[in-house]
Amino acid sequence: MSRYVRLDLGARELARADLEAALAELGLRAEVAEIPGGLMLEGNFECAGEPVDLRLPAGTLTAVGDFGLRAAGTTFVLVCGEHDRAVLAERLVAPLTQALAAARVRAAASAAGLAVDTTQAADGTLRLRVRPPA
């Protein structure tokens, strides 16, 4: 029997706008709920849908079912079918966490009047170099 599972993104004090920007940076476009928890995942004959704040369609990142992100206090959790958990942990959670961290570094550097140079290695490692503006 299939069921929905939740994966903590690990980012604290996360605003929905920051999450949307990080998804966009990864080339993913989510359907956005107008009110918290206002979108339902499709579900299937084994389990009913689950409410989410941001929903991505089935097929995204090779996920079998649709999945979404739901506000949980000051962070978000990934809500997905049990069968998609491993693929989304690898293909979404890790890159999304990286994009969120990089955005926070860029925002902090900008607030301090510093510039950030970004390079990405072939293995996916993201390097941020913070320096005085040119």
- For residues 54 and 32, is the Cβ–Cβ distance under 8 A? yes
pLDDT band with cut points at 50, 70 and 90 for residue 1 = very low
Position of tokens 């084994």? 46
Read off the pTM.
0.83
- For residues 54 and 20, is the Cβ–Cβ distance under 8 A? yes
CA distance 131 to 94: 26
**pLDDT tens for each residue of 78-133:** 999 999 999 999 999 989 988 998 988 999 999 999 999 999 899 888 899 999 98
Instruction: State the pLDDT at residue 2.
Output: 62
